[in-house]
Amino acid sequence: MIGQKVVVFFRKRETAGHYLGIVDDRILVLHDGQDRKFQGTSVRHPRPGEFPNVADNINEPVGV
């Protein structure tokens, strides 16, 4: 689902990002404020409780 939190392997570590779609057989992810394309083997769903400080979906309103 677009906006869903994902985990990407980037620069030798795993970090959180948000799925934006598929472009040219690569997965487009919003990562550190930039749209980046990743191979499918570099992107996965987060485990429960992983990266709790990152929104589960960027399309949901944030409660203050």
> Are the C-beta atoms of 46 and 5 separated by less than 8 Å?
yes
Domain map of the chain by residue range? 5-42
Mean pLDDT of 15-33: 95
Mean pLDDT rounded to a whole number for the chain: 93
pTM exceeds cut of 0.75: yes
Q: In the prediction, which pLDDT does 63 show?
A: 66
Which phi-psi region, left, alpha or beta, contains residue 29 (left: φ > 0; alpha: ψ -120 to 50)?
A: beta
If pLDDT is split at 50, 70 and 90, which confidence band does 61 have? confident
Mean pLDDT of 26-52: 95
Q: 13 pLDDT exceeds 70?
A: yes
